[in-house]
Structure 1
Amino acid sequence: MRAYIIRRLLLLIPTLLLVTMIVFCAVRFIPGSVIEMMAAQSGETENMDATIRAIRHNLGLDVPIHVQYFRWLGNALRGDLGRSLWTQESITRELFQRLPISVELGILAIVIGLLIAVPVGIFSAIRQDSIGDYIGRSIAIFCISVPSFWLATLVVVYPSIWFGWTPPLPVIPFLQDPLGNLRQFIIPAILLGMVMSGTTMRMTRTMMLEVLRQDYIRTAWAKGLKEQVVIYRHALKNALIPVVTIVGLQLPILVGGAVIIETIFGLPGLGRYFVDALFQRDYPIISAINLIVAAFVMFCNLAVDIAYAYLDPRVHYT
């Protein structure tokens, strides 16, 4: 296991280099460069070419793109992710301020999604083909099918029209007012965790049905054990092994959904920071967030593989 973990960690290095290199180059081809935007806002109309050359030189974009990339990479290895092209503020400081908001939103979405998905999936399995099973399966299909951004838009628009309610814009720090903070984050977290909840719900039901048909479960029933003992002590542990993998694979979708949810609800997290940078063509911010998200997803996949081997003794990594 130790050798496998070391190999996976070493594999992260070329993977991160490739991902960051692709994104670093790709954003330069988005129509409407930051140089053109700044030149248009400068108000200079007579000598536009000279203005563009001056802006390009000041931003350090007048050198070949591979020189820009290795310059950025060298600074990133030293912990300096650069400065915003528009505000010249430190990106590292901005990330430290915005990261807790995205982390809190993601953790709440995962917790709420699992608290809904696992119990409903277990109930649907042990009450197969009952009314409760059909309701649970319908809820899962609804969560998977309906886009979270569409529901988020409805939540923001219609309550403001009908009841005069809008989500509070200033973020309430958790340590300052825990209840106020949770009230602010609970609706975005529910909407963000819906897709993961529906997928996990269906997987939990499927695996529970498969495990409940195993011989050792029939033996447990034959011994006269109570239903709670059979379900939670014998069946649930084995049924949740594939669910762990599904939850890990849902994390990239969760990250992508956070970008939209934060933008709709006005939460100043990494997702909204990324969207603002994308509209402004702020290349250093885009590259920095891409690096963080790529590393996060890769480490989560590694953690899922390790957890899978821990939960299932039959799995061995060499």
Structure 2
Amino acid sequence: MALAPSADLATSVDLVATLLAAQAPALADLPIRPHASGWDNDTYRLGETLAVRLPRREAAVPLIANEVRWLPVLGQFVTLRTPQPIVVGTPSQAFGRPWAVVEFIQGTPVSSVPVAERTSFAPQLADFLWSLHVPAPASAPVNPARGGSLATPATAERVRDRLAQLTEAGSRDLADALQPRWEAWVAAPDFDGVDAWVHGDLHPHNMLRGDDGQLAGVIDWGDMTAGDPACDLATAWLTFDDAGRAAFRGQIDEGGAVDSATWTRAKAWALHLGLILTTMSDDHPWLTAIGRHALNGVASESD
């Protein structure tokens, strides 16, 4: 499997301190400590309630720009907390990219919560998606990798390649089970509704559970886009087991307006994203685990 892309600009506690002193002096005396280094951003804790996010590679610059532009808008109507920007840093000689100070949401990544315990917040996640999946403005971000149609030759080729990787890694039975399901599900009618707001990367590592056992927030919005809500509904397989999935789908379906074709596209998205996560990186084992869980879930679907 591929390694995560290398950073093309190094970050450090000293760099964060320099940026804060120059552009956010009111926050410069707060303690700084490393928190996480993700696929796209390095994150540092700033005091107890804030975090600093810096793009670790050039490709991530538009993603953080989307977050600081649109999270204040989404935060007005979604039902879960999102990391609202407090300071939007500008490129400088010290760091030639935009960066941001955001609210830090306390919680445990859902990826580390046993799957059986996630059912308790399945209805809450469904309600969040109902609040998010409203018509997006024409100026909303467009992400070519999320929220669009999966029925493209390029996607078909990538899926074939990743199924071949599964086979080579010793999972031939799983790959053989997934192939006909992919072909059936990707043939579902394409989305033809009004483009809705879509998170685009709604897997368990991008959700946080609070001390009360319920969801505390949703993070990592760089892939947000306008498009087909089925992309986010794939979290039914990325996040839950059979019981949790039933609770999630039941709550979604109570609101109506999600037809069978949308759920079929959601299964196709779950398979597609599961393959990406399973084969993307040896140095992010939690992502591999999420992907494998999704693939096992969709492989058990009978239609």
User: Could you tell me the TM-score, scaled by structure 1's length?
Assistant: 0.23
Q: Which has the higher contact order (CA 8 A, sep 6+)?
A: 1
Max radius of gyration: which structure? 1
Larger helix share, 1 or 2: 1
User: Could you tell me the TM-score, scaled by structure 2's length?
Assistant: 0.24
